[in-house]
Amino acid sequence: MFSKACEYGIRASMYIALQSLEGKRVSLKEIAEEIDSPVAFTAKILQQLSRNKIVDSVKGSAGGFQIEKEQIKKIKLSEIVYAIDGDNVYVGCGLGLKKCNANKPCPVHDKFVAIRDNLKNMLESASLQEMTEGLEVGTTYLKR
């Protein structure tokens, strides 16, 4: 569904959001530990997220990553996915034709579009804030 990079990116954003809500800034090392991801690869992804203004990075000693509380409410999963995987989730054809195109549809087009729209709505409505709620009360997890 999503690339590994994107999965790590989402999990990392969720963890940063969770800690930012408590006023804590977190280091790359801590993030990678808490979401069970490879450190250096996660660094690359966080750079992307930082460039895309999804997370704030602070250099230097006592630096790390954080997300402003206002942003945590506003940022939707769709923005994270877009920053890392681009728009292929939205424009891709289920059977791999160049782009999904209703004028020359593949045989699964109608059914696939329904599923994709479903996914799209989910991603566009789910905020980081919403995602952290289960983490706070311990009903959802970022690693096992």
Q: Which chain residues interact with ligand FES by CB under 6 A?
A: 93-95, 97, 100-101, 105-106, 108-109, 112-113
Task: Report in angstroms how near the CB of residue 138 gets to DNA at its nearest.
Answer: 25
Site for its own copies in 11-70 (CB under 8 A): 11, 14
3-state secondary structure of 64: strand
Using the contact rule CB under 7 A, the part of the chain among 24-32, 97-105, 114-122, 126-134 near DNA is: 24-32
Q: Which of 66, 108, 127, 137 binds its own copies (CB under 8 A)?
A: 108
CB-wise, 109 or 120, nearer to ligand FES?
109
Residues 6+ apart with CB under 8 A from 24: 66
Task: Report in angstroms how near the CB of residue 129 gets to DNA at its nearest.
Answer: 22
Q: Rounded to whole angstroms, how far apart are CA atoms 40 and 37?
A: 9
CB-wise, 5 or 135, nearer to DNA?
5
Cα torsion at 73, 78, 81, 86 (round to 10°)? -140
Residue 60 in the binding site for DNA (CB under 7 A): yes
CB-wise, 60 or 138, nearer to DNA?
60
Comparing CA positions, the residue from 2, 64, 61, 75 lying closest to residue 31 is 64
Contacts with its own copies: how many residues (CB under 8 A)? 40
Q: Which of 24, 36, 51, 133 binds DNA (CB under 7 A)?
A: 51
Residues 6+ apart with CB under 8 A from 65: 12, 16, 25, 26, 27, 28, 31, 46, 50, 55, 56, 57, 58
